[in-house]
Structure 1
């Protein structure tokens, strides 16, 4: 007698389950931004208007929930980076760095999760797009020829530090930081301070591992 093959495809969620999933993720983004990753699953459930059991049915632990939100944030940044490539006059790089700044402010409580995120393919895609934006900026003369991708990435690391340190006391301090940094990037690259961080080093710093199946949306 033939054995019926098992369906390995996950069943689609019911409409109410999809709605609850969206409510939980939206509430978690707000709560984690406000209270950081120490916020409880109970608080997230309360903000979403669902029982805590509903949260745990979709996410076995807080780490899984934070991971999904960080992945969403990465996907959003990839989309913004692509859109920035269409901006005229090599302005896309600076425009996108400011997008990163606004995103870091909006997700202050968990933005650090992007470093070492498990979706390494998504991180690499974002890095590639930033490299293309840098090439555009160089061609337009908005960034010095000697500036490398590692220099731009270091700028974003500092940007995250400014956002986290200034907090709600000076939430717009990062804007001036970006202005100052891009003024420096337009000058000749330094020659006596060692090389920029390499692409290989960037991969080691991010530390993500991926099987190649994850995609950025």
Structure 2
């Protein structure tokens, strides 16, 4: 059982939540340069407590991404309930990106994924991927998106828009315009055009 899955005592759970919140703030400010010592101080905890939960920065980032993917799977399953396949796809992609907006740790993980131990959050990623694939397949079958759109394309599209978020923090108009352009580029013959804001 992993750190992400193992039940924690109430005090340990509170400490873990404090660490995750502090890490989120510091990753947002400093990116990968955020230091474990600063995270512990921000959380109001000692280094021993921090390292009992997360032996290194990599483990902390993995835990944060794992929690995010769990929430993303719920988001994708909710999109499956939308009747119109094109609306379902757009809601899923937009929701995914809105959740990443302001979460620099998640943005960093998705843009620099080669050095993350993704196998530690394999279950969370697999649940998300399965739900996304079902939404994409339904949108493709209806003609609402391009016939060749795949899960791999979803990942590339999302990462591209996320890079706009990360390199232009606070530039909501920039990433939303980027998203609208992308949506028009992958829309199928039965889809509705997006109006650029």
| TM bin (shorter chain) | 0.7 to 0.9
> Does the CA-based 8 Å contact 1:32-1:110 persist in structure 2?
no
Structure 2 counterparts to residues 121-160 of structure 1, below 5 A: 121-160=123-162
Structure 2 counterparts to residues 1-217 of structure 1, below 5 A: 13-90=8-85, 91-114=87-110, 115-116=113-114, 117-118=118-119, 119-168=121-170, 170-187=171-188
5+ residue gaps, structure 1: 1-10, 189-217
> Does the CA-based 8 Å contact 2:144-2:188 persist in structure 1?
no
TM, length-normalised to structure 2: 0.78
Higher relative contact order (CA 8 A, sep 6+): 1
> Does the CA-based 8 Å contact 1:33-1:108 persist in structure 2?
yes
How far apart are 1:12 and its partner, in Å? 6.1
Q: Number of aligned residue pairs: give it.
A: 177
Output the CA distance in 2 between the equivalents of 1:131 and 1:79.
14
1:175-207 Cα distance to aligned partner (Å, 9 max, x none): 11111111121246xxxxxxxxxxxxxxxxxxx
144 and 59 in structure 1: CA distance in 2 versus 1, 3 angstrom threshold: closer
CA root-mean-square deviation: 2.3
Larger relative helix fraction: 2
> Does the CA-based 8 Å contact 2:61-2:105 persist in structure 1?
no
5+ residue gaps, structure 2: 1-5, 190-197
| Equivalent residue, structure 2, for 1:191 | none
179 and 64 in structure 1: CA distance in 2 versus 1, 3 angstrom threshold: same
TM, length-normalised to structure 1: 0.71
> If you compute each CA radius of gyration, which structure gives the higher value, 1 or 2?
1
How far apart are 1:72 and its partner, in Å? 0.8
> Does the CA-based 8 Å contact 1:70-1:111 persist in structure 2?
no
| Equivalent residue, structure 2, for 1:209 | none
1:72-111 Cα distance to aligned partner (Å, 9 max, x none): 1111111111111112211121111112212322222442
How far apart are 1:140 and its partner, in Å? 4.1
